[in-house]
Structure 1
Amino acid sequence: MAAGSVRADSADYKYILSNDVPLIDVRAPVEFAQGAFPCAVNLPLMTDSEREAVGICYKQHGQEAAVQLGHTLVAGEEREARTAAWLAYCRQHPDGYLCCFRGGLRSHLVQQWLHDAGVDYPLIEGGFKALRQYVLTATEEMAAYPIMLIGGNTGCGKTRLVRDLTAALDLEGVARHRGSSFGRTLVQQSSQIDFENRLAIAMLKKQAQGIRHWFLEDEGRIIGSNHLPLPLYNHMQLAPVAVIEMPFDERLHSLHEEYIDLMHAEYVRVYGPDEGWERYGEYLRHGMHAIRRRLGLERYAQLNGSLEEALILQRETGDSRRHTDWLVPLLREYYDPMYTYQLGLKKERIVFRGSYEEVKSYLMTTSQTYGD
């Protein structure tokens, strides 16, 4: 393969994304941080400051001068070090591709330098921009598949059911957030572009399995700091709903385990006993603080006081049961009424109600014909 050539599948974006084909993204770190693909590693041609200098030169003196400045900035030991990193990745991932923003000058230059070093490596036709456009178009097309929503009050197991169904998309998992004010996880949410890219890839992989319909948790458009793509969200507003009905005590037990006990254990596992405890406490306080205006400041102060008392007891004795003192009223006074209201707006679209197992059985049976 000669320098400047491409493989036969260099523009097969569906294959590249749905099969996690490795990418060397040679854009500057600031570009990569704004949005990238999960199968990409950032091994930039230029640093952020170098890219800025070349950009200014291009505007003031034109492309030829900018290219010359780029060669001056990335030369000698810098060029050798960056080339060595690209070569190492190429050897580790011989099936991969180079990628810059438009598949233009930067990826061609890296490709030439690799060729000079004895390695011919293909590039993505159209670069990140072409991949991104494909993602947007594919998402809109796949969002038009038949959808059924899984509804139910907080703690009834909607997310667990989503993860049990082949035709389901775990929107909260893709967003790295559980959707509520206490929905943060230990994995930081990413940029909106990253979220959209991951969601599209999840849909493409399901499509490759023959899935042509979606089971989705009944979500608002915003999950933490990420927004569902508008075509998907709009289609969800027309979808039928299957509602899980679960006794309050069972939901309370599930939420206590997930948001209190498991989160404490996970923070301690990742950060150690002392820092883990501090981060766990901050996580709970942040969740309560996020809804203080909706609770009303007086009620917020009361529930926050109960939270602090529960944390003190848990810290001293290891007993987390006092957290029910604020969790129970929070469910009864805030989360349950809010979801009852929201579900009331969808009452004409409710097609099934039942226990967790009944809804699961209904959806699995429905999946055999849904979308046909």
Structure 2
Amino acid sequence: MFSNDFKSIVLNSTRLIDVRAPIEFEKGSFPYAINLPLINDKERHEIGICYKKYGNNEAVKLGHRLVSGAVKEERVKAWSEFIKINSDAKLFCFRGGQRSKISQEWLSQSGYDITRFRGGYKAFRNYLINEIEKSCTHFKPIILGGRTGSGKTILLNNLDNSIDFEGLANHRGSSFGRKITPQPSQINFENALAYDLIQKLDKGLKYLVFEDEGNRIGSVFIPKIFADYLLVAPLIILETHIVERIGITFNEYVFEAQKMYGNNLVEWRDEILGAMSRIKKRLGSQRYQKVCDIFENAFDEQMQRGSQEAYKEWIEYLLREYYDPMYDYQIQKRSKQVEFRGSSEEVVEYLSQLP
């Protein structure tokens, strides 16, 4: 059984079995995919050498010898257990060829029928990339800007027609934005973006709202055609009082961030100091030294008395001396794109009135 109804797979968030080797899976796969390989990395390497020396037939024979007996039973069992829980699951390898065919046949012999991708990973991946590019003709973009700590992500997550680049990238989009868990690969980021776009546009949404990010979020990049489309989109500025901005920034970069590090606050401190060193040149030596001193004093205060309040002074200094001037300068250069400014409530009201 074959399937190339990739849109249905996306819209239904279908669970997938990726039977490629772990090394292939780590480079990139699809949302809702689990790696249950037919052959592991070592076996794949040996089979590859055999293929180069003796051709396809001998490589296939070696593969069957390596994955036989208890090894074969173990792998078929893993697939079967997954299918028991996910009856609509689909199966794929790289090109929809031998590995997925063998896996499908072995499952059938064990009493489990499963559909595999026509064209495999490569065909589905091409579909998703094409959908990102095609999507630019199906919606009107709106960019949500605002100074650091304005609550842009909070607002986005309360909108039905938004796409959160930072959430997809697992990064806060700034020098201090790295999280304790790693970012996705570029391939995984693009595939997740395609899923989000397809699912949102299937609802008939005319406008999609994105945070003002640029084309890079940590280590991943927004696909160029898509980023260029957003570059000339109307800009809405979220305006939030400095006191509230300090609170929002404190909650995300101190309170919630420290919880991720558990009891290892020294590691969190070192991460923050590393982030500050990355902006040292733009801060200048005098301001850099001052912001480091404020931060270290706040850290000592927490260690001695358990209070995090002193970090708010550090945050306010960074906002006023570094982030605000830099952002205001960038927005001034794009002033012709600005169509609206207002509070969170006013922005939501404005968006609701769009034709």
TM-score after normalising by structure 1: 0.91
Of residues 324-333 and 21-30 in structure 1, the stretch that sits farther from structure 2 once superposed is: 324-333
Partner amino acid, structure 2, of 1:198: A
Cα distance in structure 2, aligned partners of 1:99 and 1:212 = 34
Shift of 1:322: 1.8
Cα distance in structure 2, aligned partners of 1:87 and 1:246 = 53
1:347 to 335, 341, 353: 335
2:157 to 159, 163, 167: 163
Cα distance in structure 2, aligned partners of 1:26 and 1:112 = 13
Cα distance in structure 2, aligned partners of 1:122 and 1:195 = 26
Unpaired runs of 5+ residues, structure 2, are none
Cross-structure match for 1:44? 37
Cross-structure match for 1:255? 249
Cα distance in structure 1, aligned partners of 2:198 and 2:221 = 19
Deviations 1:296-322 (A, max 9, x none): 344323322321221111121121122
Q: Secondary structure at the match of 2:117?
A: coil
Tell whether 2:53 aligns with 1:60: yes
Matches within 5 A, 1:124-203: 124-144=117-137, 145-203=139-197
Cross-structure match for 1:315? 303
Tell whether 2:102 aligns with 1:109: yes
Tell whether 2:288 aligns with 1:300: yes
Deviations 1:265-298 (A, max 9, x none): 3433xxxxx33x2333233223222222222344
Unpaired runs of 5+ residues, structure 1, are 269-273
1:21 to 14, 20, 30: 14
Shift of 1:354: 1.4
RMSD: 1.5
Partner amino acid, structure 2, of 1:178: R
Shift of 1:130: 0.8
Q: Secondary structure at the match of 2:172?
A: coil
Tell whether 2:87 aligns with 1:99: no
Cα distance in structure 2, aligned partners of 1:266 and 1:67 = 46
Deviations 1:61-108 (A, max 9, x none): 111111111111111111111111111112221211111001001000
Decide whether the 8 Å contact of 1:21 with 1:95 is kept in 2.
Answer: yes
Runs of 4+ off more than 4 Å: none
Cα distance in structure 2, aligned partners of 1:256 and 1:114 = 52
Cross-structure match for 1:239? 233
Cα distance in structure 2, aligned partners of 1:140 and 1:149 = 18
What is the count of residue pairs matched by the alignment?
Answer: 354
Q: Secondary structure at the match of 2:310?
A: helix
1:77 to 42, 62, 70: 70
Shift of 1:175: 0.9
Partner amino acid, structure 1, of 2:214: G
Q: Secondary structure at the match of 2:144?
A: strand
Deviations 1:137-182 (A, max 9, x none): 1111113321111111111111111111111111111111110111
Tell whether 2:274 aligns with 1:280: no
Decide whether the 8 Å contact of 1:154 with 1:335 is kept in 2.
Answer: yes
Cross-structure match for 1:271? none
Deviations 1:310-368 (A, max 9, x none): 111112112112223332221122111111111112111111111221112101211xx
Partner amino acid, structure 2, of 1:100: C
Q: Secondary structure at the match of 1:242?
A: strand
Of residues 133-142 and 210-219 in structure 1, the stretch that sits farther from structure 2 once superposed is: 210-219
Of residues 315-324 and 42-51 in structure 1, the stretch that sits farther from structure 2 once superposed is: 315-324
TM-score after normalising by structure 2: 0.95
Q: Secondary structure at the match of 2:157?
A: helix
Cα distance in structure 1, aligned partners of 2:13 and 2:248 = 35
Q: Secondary structure at the match of 1:87?
A: helix
Decide whether the 8 Å contact of 1:313 with 1:322 is kept in 2.
Answer: yes
Cα distance in structure 1, aligned partners of 2:136 and 2:300 = 47
Decide whether the 8 Å contact of 1:165 with 1:364 is kept in 2.
Answer: no
Tell whether 2:337 aligns with 1:337: no
Shift of 1:183: 1.3
Cα distance in structure 2, aligned partners of 1:231 and 1:237 = 10
Decide whether the 8 Å contact of 1:22 with 1:95 is kept in 2.
Answer: yes
Q: Secondary structure at the match of 2:339?
A: strand
Cα distance in structure 2, aligned partners of 1:165 and 1:221 = 22
Cross-structure match for 1:363? 351
Of residues 285-294 and 124-133 in structure 1, the stretch that sits farther from structure 2 once superposed is: 285-294
